[in-house]
Amino acid sequence: MTVNRSLALYLAAGATVTAVLTAIDGGRGLRAGAVAWAVCLVPLLRWPPRRVAVGAAAPFSAPSWP
C-alpha cells in the first residue's frame, strides 16, 4: 500500500467517524473528531531522515600482537 493511498484511507475513515460524532453530539462531536484525527495523524507522517555528518570510513585494524 502506498503512502498516498494509506493517507487517503485515513482521511476517509476520519471523515466518517467525525460525521458520526457530529450527528450524535453536534459541535462537540465535530471538534472531538477533528482533534482525534489530527493527533492520530502525527505518527503516520514521514519525518525527514537524519543527516549523518561523515560517511563511513574504511575499517581500522589494530596491529597484531607479536
Alpha carbon of 42 to those of 8, 19, 50: distances in Å?
15, 21, 18
Angle between the 3-25 and 27-41 helix axes, to the nearest 10 degrees? 160
pTM confidence score: 0.60
List, for residues 42-53, the tens digit of each pLDDT value: 877 777 777 766
List, for residues 6-26, the tens digit of each pLDDT value: 889 989 999 999 999 999 999
Closest CA to 6 of 50, 40, 32, 30: 40
